[in-house]
Structure 1
Amino acid sequence: MAQRWRTVAAIAGGLFAVNVVARLVVRWGYPGDDYAADAATLAMLAAVGVGCLAVAAWWTPSRPAGAWAADLAAASAAGLLLAILVGPLLSGTGPFSYGAGEFFKQVWQWAGVSVVGALVGTGAVTALGQDHRSRGLARFARERLAGARKPRR
């Protein structure tokens, strides 16, 4: 059980690290440039989506959907909370300094790219027939066919 939470914490830390890098690049490299801030935000959101896609694609073949989806949701939620509550402090502002609308916009954007990334990752693995359920059904079919052979005379 501790290993499971260690993995969730590592994924959350990785997602938060992507946010920190984006914030520090904008703060030190492009202060006051709104276009650079928007580009860094898009790159950060793309990285979060690709990260969730990769984790979902990695876990889908070996674990039931309920188990990996709960772990990925917990990791993404923890990364999101760190990114919206601690991240602004790194860039010299507060979490609500731009208002509640901007705060909740960040929440919905992060949640959206996380869900889409996870769905694309698991969809690709499922389409290839390598997900946990498809592999179990294929194993059942092989065993069933192996036992249903007619005896030769």
Structure 2
Amino acid sequence: MREQRWFRIAVLAVALFAVNVVARLVIRFSSDDAGSGTQGLASIVMFAVIAVVLGALTFVRSQRERPSVWLPDIGLGALGGMALTVLVGPFVSGRGPFANGAGDFFAQIWLYAACAIAGTVIGYWIAVILGRDYRSKALKAYTEARKVRPRRVVGR
């Protein structure tokens, strides 16, 4: 079951949702009525952790697989995590998804998407810069194979 593609996507979505649940519980239990500073700090930390998790996962997966394999997995996992965060997450805080209005709802979607994309891109860029991504390794292996093979002499 662990080798199935949907399992990895679901685990990523649940892990990203768990980060959100922890942040919402910290906000709920540690802040008072005028605790907007705690709420803002917890939200920033939550989005930073989401970006770091996606960046680290992208860095690791881009070393072993082609982007056509890992990018849909990470994208769908992040999309699932965002859906859970936006639609189910507010119930952890004791409110509904649209309790603060549609503006806050869509702002959270845009902020989540921006952090997810930024984390994924930075993780991939780091792998490319270090020459550890799948394509760089394939090109290096091809170059090494061409050096080892002797040059073919054409007889006339």
Displacement after TM superposition at 1:94 (Å): 0.5
Q: d(CA) in 1 for partners of 2:120 and 2:148?
A: 36
The aligned runs of 1:94-105 (5 Å cut-off) are 94-105=96-107
Please say if 1:84 is aligned against 2:86: yes
Please say if 1:20 is aligned against 2:21: yes
Q: d(CA) in 1 for partners of 2:112 and 2:57?
A: 16
Aligned equivalent of 1:51: 53
The aligned runs of 1:1-153 (5 Å cut-off) are 3-32=4-33, 33-149=35-151
Q: What one-letter code is carried by the residue in structure 2 that aligns with 1:14?
A: A
Displacement after TM superposition at 1:4 (Å): 1.5
What do residues 62-93 of structure 1 show as CA deviations (whole Å, max 9, x unaligned)?
A: 01112111110100000000001000011011
- Output the TM-score relative to the length of structure 1: 0.94
Q: What one-letter code is carried by the residue in structure 2 that aligns with 1:137?
A: L
Q: What one-letter code is carried by the residue in structure 2 that aligns with 1:30?
A: S
Displacement after TM superposition at 1:148 (Å): 3.1
Q: What one-letter code is carried by the residue in structure 1 that aligns with 2:87?
A: L
Unaligned runs of 5+ in 2: none
Q: What one-letter code is carried by the residue in structure 2 that aligns with 1:96?
A: F
Q: What one-letter code is carried by the residue in structure 1 that aligns with 2:85?
A: A
What is the DSSP-based 3-state SS (H/G/I as helix, E as strand, rest coil) of the residue aligned with 1:96? coil
What do residues 105-132 of structure 1 show as CA deviations (whole Å, max 9, x unaligned)?
A: 1001111011111111110111111100
What is the DSSP-based 3-state SS (H/G/I as helix, E as strand, rest coil) of the residue aligned with 2:105? helix
Question: How many residue pairs are counted as aligned between the two chains?
Answer: 151
Q: d(CA) in 2 for partners of 1:134 and 1:119?
A: 17
Percent identical residues: 36
What do residues 6-40 of structure 1 show as CA deviations (whole Å, max 9, x unaligned)?
A: 11111111100000000011111113211111110
- Output the TM-score relative to the length of structure 2: 0.92
Displacement after TM superposition at 1:56 (Å): 0.3
